[in-house]
Amino acid sequence: MRAREEPDLDGTLTSPEAGNRAIRGGAIRVAGYGAGLLLTALVTPFLLRHLGVAEFGQYTTVIAIVTMVQGFTDAGLTIVGQRIYVHADAAGRRRLMGDLLGMRLVLTPVGIVLGVLFSVVAGYPNAIVSGTIVAGIGTIFAVLAAALAMPLGAELRFGAVTAIDFSRQLAIVVGITVLVIAGAGLLPFFFVYIVAGLVAIAVALACLGTSSWFMPRFDLRDSIAFLREALPVGLSLVVNTSYVRALIVICSLLATEEQTGLFSASYRISEILLGVPQMMLGAAFPILAHAHAADRDRLAYALQRMGEAALLVGVAVGLVLAVGAVPIIAVLGGSEFGGAADALRIQSVAIAGAFMTQVGTTALIAVHRQRELLLVNLFALVVVVVLGVTLIPAWGADGAALAASIGEVALAVVALTLLSRAEPELRPRLMYVPKLLAASGVAMLCLLLPGSDAIAAVAALAVYLSLAWLLRAVPDELLAALPRRGRAGAPHAGP
């Protein structure tokens, strides 16, 4: 395996081409995410038919437990680690990576043990308890692979990061397919996650090169200092991923089972799409974190362009959901979930808002505003719960979707407001907002077109993008990043 030289991280993150690399990297991350979802969608029907309803429910329960453990034990570590990494020297980076691997080797097994204990206390059958142990080991390997990928993201090597994620997803799909063909029982399916985690680690090590392999480091003082910085961010991220899920719980308590099921269908679609802004905008985080200390003008420029690109894409995604809600629900849920179309149409506003939320929260982390980040997410939780309790009894699934949309928009507005108050020089110029809203309003008229809503959704997207371009609401950097354009990168002030 080839060793590689220590990268010039400062040069990478300050180069005129850094912005284009982040844009293309975000696109690569989204494409990899979409490919993984497609593979999962293709294999899931075969897995469901093979296991049957009861065993598939047990399988899903195990995956839910270990996924929650992974989320809780990882929350804040990766993004705060990357924030520190971009400012450290070569020795500091190796020490940081050793600390991160060491903390994950401690925290994740503890989380898995707690997950197993929960499955025992909850009275789950042995299949779920055993499955949690086996899949939990696979989760430890997956977490280690994610830690190894962090330097690659900081170096803007998003093709390598995507390869690591996709290799794990591909290994899971291949393993499930082989076991279905072999007629395996439930437990072997969880061993697939161990193999997939090992595959991801192997790909990560290959991408890093032998000179960049890291050994775990267990330094209590350094770990405590790191966790003190990461904990507020981690709590904020946990709250951020939980506040809309709270609506499902409220729905189950205050509405009928049918309305809860309809909102759950709408929520599941929106939950999948929420990964898009995280992948797309997360690619720029190393540039933002570095610019915070090295070049404030560059940071302001990057955030401005990120906001413009985020709203452009977010409104486009929301528009397709709003106009094409009926065929989207029909394809993904069938006629049984036809009533979820209205909830999805309402929740399309939340998807558009989520892109702007990602801009605000990413910026708050980059500029070390953990307190504001936690406050804004707690605010969103309160808003969503209050609105949910108020709207769901009267309007069911539609009320839950409305609460989610209002909460997401409020979160975006408050996050950007707190950012502007804490860092006045980062206050965004919002002249692009009315342009994009006007373009989307005109595009919504495509709902009046005769024919199917699927065709209307495609037409609406085309109208929206055309008007956005005519109104000069498309950032030049997005066009410059297209491979066929052959244009020079953004000026040094840009991202």
Residue 107, pLDDT above cutoff 80? yes
Give dist(CA 380, CA 243) in Å, integer: 7
Using the structure block, give the residue that is written with the tokens 């297209």: 482
Angstrom distance (rounded) from CA 494 to CA 476: 11
Q: For the chain, what is the total number of helices (H) and then of strands (E)?
A: 19, 0
Least confident of 115-119, 192-196, 291-295: 291-295
Torsion angle in degrees (nearest 10) through CA of 379, 385, 390, 391: 100
Question: What is the predicted pLDDT for the residue at 132?
Answer: 93
pLDDT score recorded for residue 403? 96
Percent of the chain with pLDDT over 70: 95
Of residues 315, 268, 282, the one with CA closest to residue 440? 315
CA-CA-CA-CA torsion sign (97, 99, 100, 104)? positive
| 270 residue type, one letter | S
Query: Looking at residue 360, what is its pLDDT?
Result: 93
Q: Hey, what are 455's tokens? A: 């065709």
Q: What is the pLDDT of residue 483?
A: 63
Q: How far is residue 202 CA from its own chain's centroid?
A: 24
**What pLDDT does 142 receive?**
94
Task: Output the pLDDT for position 408.
Answer: 94
**Mean pLDDT score of the chain:** 88
Model pLDDT for residues 438-466, shown as the tens digit of each residue:
999 999 999 999 989 999 999 999 999 99
Average pLDDT over residues 143-157: 90
Position 486 scores a pLDDT of 43
Nearest in space to 197 (alpha carbons), one of 141, 136, 135 = 141
Q: What is the pLDDT of residue 335?
A: 80
Can you tell me the distance from the alpha carbon of 192 to that of 139, in angstroms, rounded to the nearest whole number?
11
289: its two tokens = 């974190």
The pLDDT, as a whole number, for residue 143 is: 92
**pLDDT tens-digit profile of 19-41?**
888 889 999 999 999 999 889 88
pLDDT tens digits for range 394-411: 999 999 999 999 999 999
Token pair of 409, please?
Answer: 């928009």
Angstrom distance (rounded) from CA 325 to CA 348 = 9
pLDDT at 488: 42
Lowest mean pLDDT among 49-58, 126-135, 223-232, 319-328: 49-58
